[in-house]
């Protein structure tokens, strides 16, 4: 019982630790995408594929899936491909619904306007992710230790109360 509860606590603490890391990876990946869009004028499927090859593993799946979906030319828009990739990417991350909303909003504008406008949208998403990262780091500092101990202590309490 104590072990199970302890592992739950560790898992929650792990999520608090992972989120800022994943947000930083996402921001770096979006920065790479901006470079591809603004300097390389690379087509979106190729740009997403290139970013997936260079960015951190935690963010790579999102860009790889979106690129693969767009490359099939099955008739989906960039927003639909991005959303589909998000549905595969999000469950495996420690991101919160607010982070997902930022990515979802970015997807709605991907590839549908001129370079200047694309850069604005990418900058906006990067700024929002940055602000989420600051919050996530604060939460991480506050909650990681708490949940590490809380899991074990909670388990111990239950054992003491019922046995």
Partner 1 sequence: MNVLNSYQPDQGQGKAGAINDVLPVLPANIRSMLAALPDLFQEKVEEIRLRQGRPLLLGLSNGDVFLCAEGRPTHRINEAYQVTPLDMERVIQLISNSSLYALEEELRNGFITLPGGHRAGITGKAVLDGGKVRTLKYLSGCNIRISREISGAASVVLPYLLDGNEGIFHTVIVSPPCCGKTTMLRDLIRQVSNGVPELGFPGMTVGVVDERSEIAGCYKGIPQRDVGLRTDVLDGCPKAEGMMMLLRAMNPRVIAADEIGRHEDVKALEEVLNAGVKVIITAHGKSLSELLERPVLGKIIKSKMLERFVILGRSRGVGTLEEVIDGKLMRAIGVRKC
**Binding residues vs partner 1 (CB under 8 A):** 37, 41-45, 47, 70, 73-75, 77-78, 81, 110-115, 117-118
Of 22 and 69, the one with the shorter C-beta distance to partner 1 is: 69
Tell me the closest approach of the beta carbon of residue 33 to partner 1, in angstroms: 11
Of 111 and 151, the one with the shorter C-beta distance to partner 1 is: 111
Of 38 and 143, the one with the shorter C-beta distance to partner 1 is: 38
Tell me the closest approach of the beta carbon of residue 25 to partner 1, in angstroms: 23
Tell me the closest approach of the beta carbon of residue 69 to partner 1, in angstroms: 10
Contacts 24+ apart (CB under 8 A), 10-16: 10/147, 10/148, 10/151, 12/143, 12/147, 12/151, 13/143, 13/144, 13/145, 13/146, 13/147, 13/148, 13/151, 14/94, 15/94, 16/94, 16/136, 16/139, 16/140, 16/143, 16/144, 16/147
Tell me the closest approach of the beta carbon of residue 130 to partner 1, in angstroms: 23
Of 41 and 161, the one with the shorter C-beta distance to partner 1 is: 41
């Amino acid at each position: 019982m104590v072990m199970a509860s302890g592992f739950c606590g560790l898992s929650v603490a792990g999520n608090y630790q992972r989120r800022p890391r994943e947000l930083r990876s996402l921001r770096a990946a979006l920065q790479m995408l901006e470079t591809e869009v603004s300097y390389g004028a690379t087509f979106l499927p190729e740009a997403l594929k290139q970013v997936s090859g260079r960015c951190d593993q935690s963010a790579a799946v999102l860009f790889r899936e979106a690129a693969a979906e767009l490359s099939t030319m099955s008739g989906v828009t960039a927003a639909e491909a991005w959303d589909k990739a998000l549905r595969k990417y999000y469950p495996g991350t420690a991101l919160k619904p607010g982070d997902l909303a930022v990515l979802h909003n970015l997807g709605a504008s991907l590839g549908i306007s001129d370079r200047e406008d694309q850069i604005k949208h990418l900058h906006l998403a990067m700024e929002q992710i940055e602000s989420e990262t600051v919050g996530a780091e604060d939460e991480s500092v506050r909650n990681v230790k708490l949940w590490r101990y809380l899991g074990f202590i909670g388990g111990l309490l239950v054992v003491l109360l019922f046995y």
